[in-house]
Structure 1
């Protein structure tokens, strides 16, 4: 099977693990190249069990946490745009799109995974990075991209057309370890996933993905996994 390049275009460190850890690891294990662009360093988040710290200190911590999680998930390269956390919507759309396009072109990304148009939970940074990714793909500046997917975390998948979903139970140990790598966010993470040491969150057992656009034709179809397309070339 030809190696494909899949690019996750997201807003914060830990976004990759919340909604797509099982997918990232599955793709890496199949021999594909997975790369990640994070628009912010998460400097406006909580520092949780690590105690008080400045925004600059938290940014440094979260960059290291993301690097650790990425290694667990088989993500080969991580890049940061370094925009202020919580302020991504203030970045000019053309600037954000251009920087995403540059990332896609340098890596030869064929498949993009990002948030849905509403960010999945109305988070303004999620909405902004989704818009930027769509602009980069649809603007014609990146000729390598052939498909664009939205990942839908938990309740965000309700009522939406799902192209494929992955059961997290088989890859729970990997997802759990990647979540634990984001130590500063432990309190927030456990609000969603419960005690990572003892429980499996049945209500979040699926990672769901919707095909938003494909260069090859109508995206209104079902797939068993993203690998269906990759195997077909």
Structure 2
């Protein structure tokens, strides 16, 4: 399976062209499934999911002009027969995995069976990650929380740390989580974004030091394109690779 791991979706022509190249055909000829699961732990999550699905969100992922678009809700899959959903995933040209809480997403990827299914999908199928959707496919990822995350969201390790941000942010908890292992590197999204003041370059370096794999810190104008395990940076913005 191929991958396009983004911070904020298809934000510029370079990332758009990379997606078309991975698909091997136009978006208008491609069938996609959208996974909104990661957004639900956030206040207002259902509304944010609808805006993403309807194409009204800040990132035009569902509104790119797909031949067909379906919704794959991971929290429902464990309660239905695999025969009802696995063939649909196997037939999809692209899985569009939305942002939100990466621990929650990684947990439901495991519980639903999607984590085990991903390596068996067609080599030309494309996993398109946005923020948490990009983080959760690494073997190990890190995320910050104001409150301790729920213990039932899978294997994790927590460390209390203090961030130096322009806003003078208070203590946060840095959590190391276990992802799907679809790629052999990690992603830290929203680098130097004003709405994500803790995602500074200095903090990204500190977080990457806790990940036993190469780690890409990327801004919203950058994506990582993966074919046959080889990663290529596609960027009209800022990024940095940290080695373990």
TM-score normalised by L of structure 2: 0.41
More helix by share: 1
More strand by share: 2
